[in-house]
Structure 1
Amino acid sequence: MQTRTESVAVDDGAFDMHLWVPERGRGPGLLLIQEIYGVGKYIRGVAEKLAARGYVVGAPDLFWRLQPGWAAEHDEEGLQQSLKLASRFQLEAGVADLSAAFDRLRELPEVTGAAGVLGFCLGGTMAYHLAARRSELAAAVSFYGSGVPSALELAGRITCPLQFHFGGSDPYIPREQIAAVEEAVAPMPNVEIHVQEEAGHAFHNWEAPMFHQPEHAERAWSLTERFLERHLPC
């Protein structure tokens, strides 16, 4: 597959969006939103998996206003550094940046047809917010977004197919908060929610031994692949 870095222009600057193009040279677009660790080994690995399935994947540098090119180690020190950085992150500016990145992705010559979004952790929250803003999204996937339960008023604005993943034993997202999400989206035919009851936070991140739970990760990822196949086919 081909890789390169695109620039995304916004009113007050520009930031990088790392790009992965499948072997055939074209495909649907998929905006991949980072965890607080940045666009590091894990997000790049996810991007490679998605590009191998036929997607043109763009992973924007969400922390460019704070520390461009941030990519922390997936250990306790990296976690604490990333949490400190994320505490300064401005959500509304981030959503606007992602909206610009989505537009840039869609205008690339390799992107044919529709485009969607997938995010993990902070990125799961941001994917949810972007879906509430951009009706053009063909599909959205949100993995354990801790900011989702406090923004349930946005759910009714989302018209694209949306898939949530949570860990039922997540110390960062109490089970009662997940239950509130389940209740809020229950009447919505475009939304599905999957809870791995024994899983904690960031259970899909294979680069972080403190979080990774392979069985739950495999189950959730299989559901994600089938969801994307239905709503954003290659």
Structure 2
Amino acid sequence: MGQPWEPDELGKTIAGVARDLLAQPTLQDTLDRIVYHAIRVVDGCEFAGILSVRNGEVQSLTASDDGVVASDRIQGELREGPCFDAALRLSEIYRLPDLAAARDRWPHYVPRALELGIRGMMSFLLYTDDARENLGALNLYSGEPNMFTPRSEHTGWLLASHAAVAFAGARRQGQLHEAITTRQDIGEAIGILMERYKITRDQAFELLKKASQDRNVKLRELARSVTETGEAPLG
């Protein structure tokens, strides 16, 4: 028999990260832990964040400090930058050991980033096999140039791969929980209206829907108000 196979230290570390991400109770907790682990395991990474571009708008989903939020905001304003490009799937990975050398590619963003004290960056597209998933980009930063090496890129890519799976799973779980809660709230509100007005289920739903449209309030929010206050949505 051969000797038992032992994973290397990086493999053990990433496996531990993957287990930790899947154990988080909420989507935001998952995102926050991705950034925490990025700073912990990727050589040269001093701060990090996750940026998403939805309907043309940049969102900072999580960030380790205000500088990351500022970088995201600037890229959104200028419509350029490595994180912005990665989130739009223009490239899966950017490794920029010295950001100053990328002025030609992002002539407006780079000077602003240097003013923030950003000297090195790496951006990784967060994606799964589901092409419909729009997860954004994991972005890693250093305050000194030439801190990001090929090993940093390899570790970052491994982390981003596991992070995308955990991110997508947590988001679907959150959407499922919200859908179940919404159905429960609507069902309970319909029951209250049926009892209050002695009407059928269909009539109660139409009453709730009309009140939602008249008040320009989402159906689930109106239903939750009915269940919490017992007040009928009339007038």
- Please classify the TM superposition score into its range, dividing by the shorter chain length: under 0.3
Name the TM-score, length of structure 1 as normaliser.
0.24
Structure with a larger share of its residues in strand:
1
Structure with a larger share of its residues in helix:
2
Name the TM-score, length of structure 2 as normaliser.
0.24
